[in-house]
Amino acid sequence: MSDFTNGFWNWYIALVTLLSVAGCAILLWSQSTHKARIGADGQPETTTGHVWDEDLTELNTPMPRWWMVLFYLTIVFAVAYLVLYPGLGSYAGKLGWQSGRQYKAELKQADADYGPLFARYAGQSIEAVAADPQARAIGERMFMNYCAQCHGSDARGNKGFPNLTDGDWLHGGEPATIKATIMAGRVGRMPPMGAVLGSDKDIESVAHYVMNLSGAPADPIRVVFGKPKFAACAACHGAEGKGNPLLGAPNLSDKVWLYGGSAETVMETIRKGRVNTMPAFGEFLGEPKVHVLAAYVWSLSHPAQDRAVAAK
């Protein structure tokens, strides 16, 4: 693997590096002795002859030898480093060290450290895991890391991102279903119905009919006109608008709205349709972690006493 587009740069970098190290060695060697003028007393002069600010003279006082040795040690270090680690052009170094490999090794170490903990939970039912305070704390931290960006820190969702605490589920709220949702992700698809339903008036009528299903204030005349048109929606949402978890079609007769329940928003949804994606986390997190995460998500809509009963 090389980052260079041309073999020349490889050699250029290596040469500059080696010349710099050799240059340091030559500089140290050449500066370790000094030709001093012989003074009037027959002894070499102890000053360089430079004088500043009237009386500040620069002395020739020798450096301590250990200090010079430290400089030479830096050269030894540089050579050893260049032999062992990648530093000379595209030469990989004797140790074969790579940041990517180090990262993978650290991941492996972390899996080895925490694996047994997750393996213990993986052997229990999701309900039992949800009743374990430590597992819920782990799940909460994972939720904050991976889920809160869309579903919110309080898991109550946002426009387009479902509320996970209200007991209402698009694809089903059984523990195993929640786990499947996190593992494989979901795609929610509502086709645009504008062309199917006809004019804007027809769309408005269907919207008022849908709002009436959940008891929201609606124009009674529009509701009457909208009812027969709703047949086009019943294929997925059911004749009574109760939805179908197998298709991810929401229940329209409750007060939960993923995109908003005002007349304009419902009309927009009908006219243009909606496409929504929940990404799959199975490959990224691995099944044991998703198991704990699913337990936490399930626990959000199940109060403590329910969890205790379910665990038994």
Quick one: DSSP state of residue 261?
Answer: -
Residue 109 interacts with another protein (CB under 8 A): yes or no? no
Q: Are 301 and 173 in contact (CB under 8 A)?
A: yes
Residue 199 interacts with another protein (CB under 8 A): yes or no? no
Pairing of the two strands 274-278 and 186-190: antiparallel
Closer to another protein by Cβ: residue 137 or 235: 137
Binding mask 235-274 for another protein (x = CB under 8 A): -------------------------x--------------
| Residue span binding another protein (CB under 8 A) among the ranges 74-82, 122-130, 143-151, 296-304 | 143-151
Q: Are 286 and 117 in contact (CB under 8 A)?
A: no
CA-to-CA distance for 260 and 207, rounded, in angstroms?
A: 12
Residue 150 interacts with another protein (CB under 8 A): yes or no? yes
Shortest distance, position 64 Cβ to another protein, whole Å: 6
Contacts of 32 (CB under 8 A, 6+ apart): 68
Shortest distance, position 213 Cβ to another protein, whole Å: 18
- Give the residue, chosen from 1, 3, 5, 38, that forms a contact with another protein under the rule CB under 8 A: 38
Q: Are 51 and 57 in contact (CB under 8 A)?
A: yes
Residue 312 interacts with another protein (CB under 8 A): yes or no? no
Quick one: DSSP state of residue 298?
Answer: H
What are the angstrom distances between the C-alpha of 276 and each of 56, 189, 230, 261? 78, 6, 22, 17
DSSP-assigned states of every residue in 188-240: EEE---HHHH-SHHHHHHHHHHHHHHTT----HHHHHHHHHHTHHHHHHH-TT
- Give the residue, chosen from 14, 68, 117, 128, that forms a contact with another protein under the rule CB under 8 A: 68
Closer to another protein by Cβ: residue 5 or 43: 43
CA-to-CA distance for 184 and 140, rounded, in angstroms?
A: 20
Closer to another protein by Cβ: residue 250 or 288: 250
Residue 35 interacts with another protein (CB under 8 A): yes or no? yes
Residue 280 interacts with another protein (CB under 8 A): yes or no? no
Residue 65 interacts with another protein (CB under 8 A): yes or no? yes
| Residue span binding another protein (CB under 8 A) among the ranges 154-162, 177-185, 211-219, 294-302 | 154-162
Residue 62 interacts with another protein (CB under 8 A): yes or no? yes
142 three-state secondary structure: helix
CA-to-CA distance for 2 and 8, rounded, in angstroms?
A: 12
CA-to-CA distance for 269 and 250, rounded, in angstroms?
A: 13
Please give the single-letter amino acid code of residue 97.
W
Closer to another protein by Cβ: residue 146 or 230: 146
Quick one: DSSP state of residue 243?
Answer: -
Closer to another protein by Cβ: residue 71 or 85: 71
Residue 153 interacts with another protein (CB under 8 A): yes or no? yes
Residue 36 interacts with another protein (CB under 8 A): yes or no? yes
Residue 48 interacts with another protein (CB under 8 A): yes or no? no
Q: Are 240 and 249 in contact (CB under 8 A)?
A: no
Binding mask 202-241 for another protein (x = CB under 8 A): ----------------------------------------
Residue 64 interacts with another protein (CB under 8 A): yes or no? yes
Contacts to another protein by CB under 8 A = 31-38, 42, 44, 60, 62-68, 144, 148-154, 156-159, 161, 260
